[in-house]
């Protein structure tokens, strides 16, 4: 493993997380529960797609095969995608969308705060750009967690169910494989496993403020670092990649 190849894969994983969640949230365009939420969710989606563009461009550059960020987005099958499993889970009801946003944005806040210190100057620059946007996503998710959790009996029940349903996908955030460890020693990657304590603390505060229970850690789903996904990713890609698959090299 050399640094450049490892950096390519590392960046690709981060880019995939941003791209797939950006696409998921874009599905809510014109379907938000209220107009303000429609604006919020699509704005967050836009931030994610902007981050994905920056990361996938860098992933293409470090691959040195003359590809573009669009090639990486539109020309890879699902087993060559490396986003975390929680990212690709369906939007479900609004409580599921918010629980996913809370878990992901708190993790991203902690992760990108560390990545800002990376020796890789491109990753560090993207991190410091994106961290400001993530703080806003976090506030949005925490606000809604509070409103739904400490809202009506029905919203409380649904929010607790969403938190419970998605909990088994949160273990993946903190996994470190050989590639992560290799780049950690090069002072490029983040030690994700060290963020769990802090993440638990933030989540506990947000959930308890919202009168919600923190689930017990039990079985955790895994597989994304090896390109193993839930059935949901294939559906996203078949929609997202349709045009480039049907009309290769089509341009606006």
Partner 1 sequence: MITTEPTLEYIYNLISEIPDPEIPVITIKDLGILRDVKFVDNKYVVTITPTYTACPAMGMIEDQIKEILFSNGITNVKVELTYSPTWTTDWLSQEAKLKLKKYGIAPPNHSSCTKLFSTIDVVVCPRCNSKHTELISRFGSTACKALYKCDDCKETFDLFKCH
- Applying CB under 8 A, which residues contact partner 1? 36, 39-40, 43-44, 46-51, 53-54, 109, 121, 124-126, 128-130, 132-133, 135-136, 138-140, 142-143, 205-206
Tell the burial category of 247 from Cβ atoms under 10 Å away from its Cβ (0-12, 13-18, 19+). exposed
Least distance (Å) from partner 1 to the CB of residue 145? 10
DSSP summary character for residue 214: P
CA atoms of 98 and 119, how far apart (whole Å): 33
Of 106 and 190, nearer to partner 1 (C-beta) is: 106
By CB atoms closer than 10 A (0-12, 13-18, 19+), residue 80 is exposed
Shorter beta-carbon distance to partner 1: residue 87 or 142: 142
Please tell me the number of Cα atoms within 13 Å of 77 on its side-chain side. 2
Q: Which residues contact 14 (CB under 8 A, 6 or more apart)?
A: 55
Give CA separation, 144 vs 58, 149, 218, in Å: 34, 8, 26
Q: How far apart are CB 216 and partner 1 at their closest, in Å? A: 24
Name which of 112 and 172 has its Cβ closer to partner 1: 112
The rounded distance, in Å, linking the Cα atoms of 185 and 200 is 25
CB of 133 to partner 1, least distance (A): 6
Nearer to partner 1, 34 or 65 (CB): 34
Total residues belonging to the chain:
252
Backbone phi and psi for residue 250, each to the nearest 5 degrees, phi listed first: -60, 140
Q: How far is the CB of 102 from partner 1 (least distance, A)?
A: 11
The number of CA neighbours under 13 Å toward the Cβ of 8 is 15
* Residue closer to partner 1, measured from CB, 167 or 202: 202
Phi-psi region of 84 (alpha: psi -120 to 50; beta: other; left: phi over 0): beta
Closest to partner 1 by CB, 32 or 90: 32
In the complex, the smallest distance separating the C-beta of residue 109 from partner 1, rounded to whole angstroms, is 8
Q: Which residues make Cβ contacts (< 8 Å) with residue 170, sequence separation at least 6? A: 86, 103, 107, 220
Nearer to partner 1, 40 or 162 (CB): 40
Min dist CB 218 to partner 1, Å, is 27
**Min CB(166)–partner 1 separation in Å:** 20
The first and second tokens of residue 184, run together, are 């950690």
């Amino acid at each position: 493993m050399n640094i450049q190849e490892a950096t390519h894969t590392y960046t690709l994983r981060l880019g995939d997380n941003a791209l797939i969640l950006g696409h998921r949230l874009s599905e809510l365009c014109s379907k938000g529960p209220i107009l303000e939420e429609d604006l919020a969710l699509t704005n967050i989606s836009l931030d994610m797609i902007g981050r994905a563009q920056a990361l996938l461009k860098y992933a293409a550059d470090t691959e040195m095969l003359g590809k573009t960020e669009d090639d990486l987005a539109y020309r890879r099958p699902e087993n060559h995608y490396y986003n975390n499993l929680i990212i690709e889970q369906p939007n479900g009801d609004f409580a599921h969308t918010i629980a996913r946003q809370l878990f992901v944005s708190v993790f991203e806040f902690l992760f990108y705060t560390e990545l800002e210190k990376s020796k890789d100057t491109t990753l560090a620059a993207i991190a410091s750009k994106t961290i400001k946007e993530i703080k806003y996503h976090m506030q949005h998710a925490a606000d809604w967690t509070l409103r739904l959790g400490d809202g009506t009996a029905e919203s409380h029940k649904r929010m607790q169910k969403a938190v419970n349903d998605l909990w088994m996908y949160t273990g993946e955030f903190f996994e470190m494989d050989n590639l992560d460890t290799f780049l950690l020693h090069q002072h490029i990657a983040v030690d994700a496993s060290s963020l769990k304590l802090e993440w638990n603390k933030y989540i506990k505060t947000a959930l308890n403020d919202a009168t919600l229970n923190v689930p017990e850690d039990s079985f955790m789903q895994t597989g994304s670092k090896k390109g193993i996904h839930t059935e949901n990713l294939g559906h996203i890609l078949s929609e997202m990649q349709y045009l480039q698959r049907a009309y290769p090299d089509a341009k606006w």
